[in-house]
Structure 1
Amino acid sequence: LLKPLRPAELAPVLDLALARFTDTRALKQSLEGRKVIERAKGRLMARLGLSEDEAFRRLRRAAMDSRRPMVDIAKELLV
């Protein structure tokens, strides 16, 4: 059971809830990005006959060379 909150107690509770929401959203975005990268790696492996490590290295190198996030490179590869 929850006890009634006084107005002074409400702000810290809301701050904590907002922080948890923000953390959860960031984790979900990170996981989605990893899924995209994994799919792009799979496509490189299938099309070019690369190992998983080599496919990852190529994605990483393309991201570094273009100074863009790896997930952006992976998304372009999947289009």
Structure 2
Amino acid sequence: MDRKPLISAIEIALERFGEFRILRREGSDPSEAPVTRQLVEHAKKVLIARLGLSEAEAFRHILERKLDTRRSLRDTARTILGAEGVLARPDFARSLELIFHAVRGDLRPRRRAALSRR
């Protein structure tokens, strides 16, 4: 029997158990735990997709942001999901272009055709 898959499975199970303990401690109201867990799971998926993190790294990232901001795990996950909502909007790139030109001093951004030729 190859030990590597078994060791890997045990490590993942321990990480998930650690997450579960943190999530359970986080909420004072047991009825809020499933909602918090769902938000954290969704935020982890966003971080995995956007930053290329492993599941464990994504959870640690959320915990670090929680500690840095002194907010709840639920609020931290909501913030990540809110940021993803902004980044995923199709008009976000256009908004960045407008901000760039405003900061640069150009009152009118260049037309799309002019930008694509550069």
Q: Return the TM-score normalized by structure 1.
A: 0.64
Match of 1:37 in 2: 40
Q: 5+ unaligned residues in a row in structure 2: which ranges?
A: 1-28, 83-118
Among residues 66, 71, 74, which one is paired with 1:63 in the alignment?
66
Aligned residue identity for 2:79: E
Aligned residues: 54
Aligned residue identity for 1:39: H
Map Cα deviations across residues 38-79 of structure 1 (whole Å, 9 max, x no partner).
000000001111000000000000001111111101101111
Q: Percent identity?
A: 41
Aligned residue identity for 1:27: P
**Partner Cα separation in structure 1 for residue 36 and residue 79 of structure 2:** 13
Among residues 48, 52, 55, which one is paired with 2:51 in the alignment?
48
**Partner Cα separation in structure 1 for residue 73 and residue 30 of structure 2:** 17
Q: Which has the higher contact order (CA 8 A, sep 6+)?
A: 1
